[in-house]
Chains A and B, each alone.
Chain A
């Protein structure tokens, strides 16, 4: 039961996240999110980075329209010979700013509003362990409470039944009806038989289930060499999953990003600024210093944050070493799984298998990754039958669809549950 509840609750959470993200898209642009996903690679609100610190910078700009033009295509502005623009360009080492034609004027306004109101995080660490218990443990507590209630109710039933029995015996004695000889429960043959059968069934069930779940690691949540929070990255900062896991659309492996991918952003972002809104705690409830974790990354990547450059050896190679992450999602060697088949061709959302990654500070295995779980999905999920020309060879199904004899084509219909789709 607790499992079901958990699934239900998490499903609800996914739905909620889905809706809330949708709503936010309709509502006024979120300056912070826009800033984090577009600007933060080169700009810090209060510190000069690749580009200037942005807080109150807009006040020095000639006009609002100038700002829009600059953000949409800075090189065009520079080419017009605009003095302010040329000066700015030269002042910042002739580094051209990336063009953001996709940002609307509202978006730009929202970003500027956000940076202008930005307050650098206080250095004192917020220590409020009240928030530390994660959703999971709450669910577990609830389960425990329900078990206790059930057990006490059961006890109550037994006591009442005993009392009832005793009362009947007394009543019988009073009315002179002879009572049957009392046999203690543990010598009652029926009870013994029932207990034996129940034990057998229960043990068998437990054994079989245990055997089936051997090698499965649902909810496996190892601690990692760097406390990388998915909640902070794809969650709060809305970084696209595929930005880091670039292999998911191309390869069987989604690819864990190499440190140089991290450094694309973290050359600028050298401290964790979300301490107030989202202090970090690991599964044991220990507070994590986000800035220290970023510096662990620098250590791996060979970045000297003080000098703002890579440490290099005599030959000019960056002194770096790979990060040995602990693998969370493990499949047996005889299973072939291809991310690109699911993400690119099947258009499956990452969360469908990996769960609410955007809410996980530390990643845990959300799905059982069992064969039954795979097969169930393959039975129910419809392929992109009419959207992908590959499926045009299935003439029979197309005919049936046209004639209205079928509503869709599932993965199973095109052979997606056959052994050699995953085992070879």
Chain B
């Protein structure tokens, strides 16, 4: 059964009046027309209309007849040899942020970075990216970045600051603290060592805002290494995750998503599919992708780990709080015992992590899916060190504190205590790139470069190096953090020299160095070393500790969103602020996630509980002695007794305009248990009389419950791989041939039938042969219109719903590539968001039972229909079809009737309601909103792709299949005098995808990946959305196959609801 009842939100399931109205009105505003009978008494009578018409014609004539502006063309004074204006240069580099790592390639145009791509030479990230990596280029042009160093709040020169800091450090040599986030750069570590050597009693404290201390300490106890192993999700047949959102935010999601994606690829001839169990408190994208999912309170995670351990070791039946959990644990234990299992846990509790280590040891994961021969350096922070340092500060034992990559005034759980301690430190230095909460309180600020401006390196895993080279000279008066340290350590060389020398020596001279710099990565030859570890943890002690933990009646969990993460510079990134959260689809705010049942119990009335009304009930949350008011967002799949709040919001206004006044800071809800930070706490919640608007995009662009997604269980699919083909044939089979033409071929048909016995072997070899010609027949005979012919190229895209994890990297990749506008919260509320590519998220299951909720993600973009409904209705033919199968949009021809958006069945067209980017000639038209105004700053506009038009007000826009990239790839082939190669033209979303869910290419080329995928490899899983209306999309999807016994359908009695809409 591929069509279960899907719903985007509860409003679609329950169909309240307001939702019905909202979906009927395509555009949220009232049209500014008065349709009353008495025209002259109307608000805009005919005479006024004529007056306006006359006036505007005259005005336009006057304005247009003014002299043409004189434009200048200014060549370089001395042209750099390797820059050709108009031709992009690519530089391999490395993205690091705390311990987050990604090998990247920077695309620069005329000397400025405009796009970040993954570096495919890296065997760790393998060309994958995340939304944050894609958006990092915008941080470079952030207007809120500091433009010069500060001493006591005033601008200062580096010389003056150096002198004063050196003096300060000389006086306080006995107690110098260097506080950083995890450093994975070998040269930076060397520099730190040099610095520490100069001040012998200096201490280096590593502090990660989101802590992994629990794992580090547990691993130290279990394996004798304070380190993190390498996880091989690609080799895992059974994945059990206890609260770890390893696809979204946990540890190294890009690396894990790559591996996970490999295990989720499936076709009818190879039915191997990994099975993924997830136990979690809130709803993460890892949970959404899981085959089996159950919820528990965060405090119960330890108990679940113990139950799983017992079930594996002695087959003990678990007795957890719900049956769903018990069943899941039994199922997981059985599967894990089959081998190639992997258990990960997102909990920061040493005891729980010790049990997880024990489980992994028992199931033989060490050496297969967990690699101890190759550890990971991603996180190194030890929470107790940080707590001790804050104590020391408050006791007046710290003479100097230098902080890089950290912002404890915001992220530390007792930020007031930290601030009090900071005030007692005589010399405080921040290397922050913006005036963040901590920098404001520091005596000196010596801003560090952006990563796109600086040299550097990374060692994500031992002997796996990655070099970082700048894509642009520093824009402001900033200085590399390492240069400052070297300077204060009294070294005579700069970091650049030191870095160059370090790598030249290591790589054996200039040639090796150049090659490494070009590749961006330096990796050992051959396959990754693998090896296990001998487990020596104290299981019984850990179990005893876990048993002591007492659950609260209601619990709070603090989590990271996939866009904003721990906070940092990301909070002020308008692209990320406006990226809809994969699960809640909310933008620009944080909120308290609660389950539908809990919302009902809170007395949040329907309009607020569901998503029709943007106004959300505000609740008061009390935990850990803190109190906070936040609006409620109802998230199906949340544990009924859990409230989840994201960090990264509630920033100080000086952090930047986009960050200012968005949500509340949730870090104060953390606590310290004597060993590690704890991200959950017992909580009490109460409703207030207040409401607050949250901009949620989930029901914008609705399909009104038409059948969109096809989903099967692995069992169904393996039993009958042609199940989807049969469904499709049932739907479109009648239109694949013309009856009266068939009669003529009757004789031929019978002859064919006789041959069936001979052809039986043939049919068995290719069981899909009965569906041969179905697609072609439907294309030709399903319409009265003539067919489009593509003589040369015909572009096509395939999106695999099985490997799409919903992470949103493609959304931001598209935004960066195509100059997609940010509209701000006010306009998201009006459904004016401009994303060309959205990820639709569908739930199914019973909203009141979180363990039944199953989730499907479906990226939705212009389908480039060969029989496009939008093209037929455009009065000025601004949108029409190309011979390459592209649905073209000519902005300068568009007059903004929006008929096309009305007629698009996929709801992928976006209208420019405002002049978002200053593309109009009238300055006064420019839309202003304090949150996104920086997008129009001259500095921020440097991020715009010069090959893509910046659209002006009043025109429609939509996905172009990155036509600028297609044209460039064609031109490259033409210049080289050869046909285009498959994979030469890649769209931005395809390139950004960490799981390779998107395949793109020329369907006319019989050797292309897309042709083979459609006609051979994935024939059985392929479908087109709304195929029966004969739009002939050029994007196909591959059906989702869930490795489970049952697809939860939910309200079966309402099944078929969609039928009445068709």
Where the two chains meet, the residues of A that have a C-beta atom closer than 8 Å to any C-beta of B are 211, 214-215, 217, 220, 222, 246-247, 250-253, 255-261, 300-301, 318, 320-327, 330, 332-334, 336, 338, 340-341, 344-345, 388-394, 396-397, 413-415, 418-421, 423-424
A258 and B79 form a contact (CB under 8 A): yes
Q: Counting chain B CB atoms within 10 Å of each CB, which of A326, A333, A390 scores highest?
A: A390
Is the CB–CB distance between A420 and B882 below 8 Å?
yes
> Which A residues are in CB contact (< 8 Å) with B892?
332, 334, 423
Q: A424 to B817, alpha carbons, bound, how many Å? A: 12
Is B77 touching A320 in the complex (CB atoms < 8 A)? yes
CA distance A392 to B976 in the complex (A): 13
Instruction: State in angstroms the CA–CA spacing of A326 and B68 once bound together.
Output: 13
Would B65 and A423 count as touching, CB distance under 8 A? no
B880 engages A419 (CB within 8 Å): yes
Beyond A253-B86, A345-B971, A389-B978, 17 extra complex contacts between A and B, CB < 8 Å: A215-B64, A250-B87, A255-B75, A260-B77, A320-B77, A320-B78, A325-B74, A326-B70, A326-B71, A388-B977, A390-B973, A390-B978, A392-B979, A418-B888, A420-B888, A423-B891, A424-B949
Residue contact B72 to A325, C-beta cutoff 8 Å: yes
Do A421 and B967 contact each other (CB < 8 Å), given the known contacts A324-B72, A334-B949?
Answer: yes
A419 to B894, CA, bound (A): 12
The residue in chain B whose Cβ has the minimal distance to the Cβ of A346 is B974
Q: How far is the CA of A421 from the CA of B888 in the complex (A)?
A: 9
Q: How far is it, in angstroms, between the C-alpha of A217 and the C-alpha of B67 when the chains are bound? A: 11
Cβ–Cβ contact B68 & A215, under 8 A:
yes
Say whether B71 contacts A393, CB under 8 Å.
no
Cα(A390)–Cα(B891), bound, Å: 29
Structural contact, B84 and A338, CB atoms closer than 8 A? no
Please measure, in the bound complex, the distance between the C-alpha atom of A340 and the C-alpha atom of B1005, giving whole angstroms.
26
Task: With both chains docked as a complex, state the minimum distance between the C-beta of A326 and any C-beta of chain B, in angstroms.
Answer: 6
Contact B77 A424 (CB under 8 A): no
Determine if A393 and B84 form an interchain contact, defined as CB atoms under 8 angstroms apart: no
Residue of A nearest to B1004 (CB): A393
- Range, interface on chain B: 35 or more
Q: Does B153 contact A (CB under 8 A)?
A: no
- Docked pose: A301 CA to B79 CA in angstroms: 12
Residues of A close to B890: CB separation below 8 A: 419-420, 423
Q: Are A322 and B74 closer than 8 Å at their CB atoms?
A: yes
**Main SS class of interface, B:** loop
Q: How far is the CA of A255 from the CA of B87 in the complex (A)?
A: 11
B744: interface (CB < 8 Å): no
Tell whether A336 pairs with B947 under 8 Å between CB atoms, given A326-B71, A388-B977.
yes
Report the minimal beta-carbon distance from A13 to chain B, rounded to whole angstroms: 26
Contact at A390–B71, with CB atoms within 8 Å? no
Contact A345 B974 (CB under 8 A): yes
| A254 CB to nearest chain B CB (Å) | 9
Q: Beta-carbon contacts of B872-902 to A below 8 Å, as 1s and 0s? A: 0000000010111010111111000000000
| Contact present for A261 and B79 (CB under 8 Å) | yes
Given contacts A255-B84, A420-B888, is CB(A318)–CB(B971) below 8 Å?
no
Is B975 part of the binding interface, using a Cβ–Cβ cutoff of 8 Å?
yes
- Partner among A250, A330, A415, A419 whose Cβ is within 8 Å of the Cβ of B792: A415
Interface centre among B74, B77, B1002 (most CB of A within 10 A): B77
- Give B963-993 as 1s and 0s: 1 = Cβ < 8 Å from A's Cβ atoms: 1100100110111011110000000000000
Query: What mask results when residues 695 to 729 of chain B are scored 1 for a CB within 8 Å of chain A, else 0?
Result: 00000000000000000000000000000000000
CB-based closest 3 A-B pairs: A251-B86, A420-B888, A415-B883
Given contacts A336-B947, A397-B791, contact A419 B68 (CB under 8 A): no
Q: Tell me the complex Cα distance, A420–B965, Å.
A: 12
C-alpha spacing A308/B949, complex, angstroms: 46
Cβ of B793 < 8 Å from any Cβ of A? yes
Residues B77 and A333 in contact, CB atoms below 8 Å apart: no
Partner of A247, one of B85, B791, B964: B85
Docked-complex contact A257 and B75, CB < 8 angstroms: yes
Tell me which of B792, B880, B890, B919 has the highest count of chain A C-beta atoms within 10 A of its own C-beta: B792
Which residues from B are CB-within-8-Å of A257?
75, 79
Kindly name the residue among A246, A247, A334, A391 whose own CB sees the greatest number of chain B CB atoms within 10 A: A334
User: Is the C-beta of B738 less than 8 angstroms from some C-beta in chain A?
Assistant: no
Q: Which of B73, B74, B882, B919 contacts A415 (CB 8 A)?
A: B882
Complex CA–CA separation, A222 to B65 (angstroms): 19
What are some 16 contacts across the A-B interface (CB < 8 A)?
A222-B70, A247-B85, A251-B85, A253-B85, A261-B79, A321-B77, A322-B77, A325-B74, A327-B70, A393-B1002, A414-B791, A419-B888, A420-B886, A420-B889, A423-B890, A423-B892
- A247 to B87 Cα, complex, angstroms: 9
B960:A393 contact, CB within 8 angstroms: no
Q: Does B1009 sit within 8 A of A, measured CB to CB? A: no
Q: Which of B74, B889, B973 contacts A324 (CB 8 A)?
A: B74
**Which A residue sits closest to B973, measured CB to CB?**
A390
Contact of B882 with A325 in the complex, beta carbons under 8 Å: no
Cα A332 to Cα B12 with chains together (Å): 45
Set of chain B residues within 8 Å of A419, measured between Cβ atoms: 880, 882, 888-890, 893
Most B CB contacts (10 A, CB to CB) among A250, A324, A415 go to A415
Q: Which residues of A contact B974 (CB under 8 A)?
A: 341, 345, 388, 390
Contacts of B79 in A (CB 8 A): 257-258, 260-261
Least distance between A421 CB and chain B CB atoms (Å): 7
- A223: min CB distance to chain B, Å: 11
Minimum C-beta distance from B325 to chain A (A): 53
- CB-contacts of B795-849 with A (<8 A): none
Minimum distance in angstroms from A315 CB to a CB of chain B: 14
Given A250-B84, A394-B792, A420-B882, decide whether A259 and B973 contact each other with a Cβ distance below 8 A. no
Min CB distance, B344 to chain A, in Å? 44
| CA–CA, A403 and B87, complex, Å | 40
Inter-chain contacts of A413 with B (CB < 8 A) = 791
Q: In the complex, A318→B85 CA distance in Å?
A: 22
CA distance A424 to B73 in the complex (A): 23
- Are the C-beta atoms of B73 and A256 separated by less than 8 Å? yes
In the bound complex, CA of A231 to CA of B755 (Å): 79
CA distance A327 to B74 in the complex (A): 9
Q: Roughly how many angstroms separate A263 CA and B745 CA in the complex, as a whole number?
A: 77
- Is the Cβ of A323 less than 8 Å from the Cβ of B949? no
Cα–Cα distance between A260 and B64 once the two chains are bound (Å): 39
Q: Mark B74-115, 1 if CB is under 8 A from A, else 0.
A: 111111000011110000000000000000000000000000
Q: Are the CB atoms of A256 and B75 closer together than 8 Å?
A: yes
Task: Closest A residue to B877 by CB, please name it.
Answer: A419
Establish whether residues A258 and B75, one from each chain, have CB atoms under 8 Å apart when the complex forms.
Answer: yes
**B76 neighbours in A (Cβ, 8 Å):** 258, 322
Distance (Å) between the CB of B109 and the closest chain A CB?
Answer: 11
Instruction: Look across to chain B and name the residue whose beta carbon is closest to the beta carbon of A345.
Output: B974
The answer to whether B971 and A340 have CB atoms under 8 Å apart is yes
Q: What is the CB-to-nearest-CB distance from A217 to chain B, in angstroms, rounded to a whole number? A: 6
Q: Does B950 contact A (CB under 8 A)?
A: yes
Chain B residues with CB under 8 A of A424: 947-949, 960, 963-964, 967
CA distance A246 to B72 in the complex (A): 19
Docked-complex contact B71 and A330, CB < 8 angstroms: yes
Closest B residue to A413 by CB, please name it. B791
Contact B78 A259 (CB under 8 A): yes
- Option from B87, B792, B960, B975 in Cβ contact (under 8 Å) with A420: B960
A256 to B85, CA, bound (A): 10
In the bound complex, CA of A268 to CA of B395 (Å): 75
Out of B74, B967, B1005, which one reaches A323, CB within 8 Å? B74
Chain B contacts of A323 at CB under 8 A?
74-75
CA distance A250 to B882 in the complex (A): 26
Give Cα distance in the complex from A397 to B792, angstroms: 9
Rounded to whole Å, the gap between the CB of B57 and the closest CB of chain A is 10
Please measure, in the bound complex, the distance between the C-alpha atom of A297 and the C-alpha atom of B78, giving whole angstroms.
Answer: 13
Shortest beta-carbon distance from B775 to chain A in Å? 21
> Which of A261, A324, A338, A393 contacts B980, CB < 8 Å?
A393
Known: A345-B975, A424-B960. A393 touches B75 (CB 8 A): no
Which residues from A are CB-within-8-Å of B950? 333
Q: Tell me the complex Cα distance, A403–B977, Å.
A: 24
Q: Tell me, in angstroms, the Cα distance from A155 to B343 when the chains sit together.
A: 102
Contacts of A421 in B (CB 8 A): 882, 967
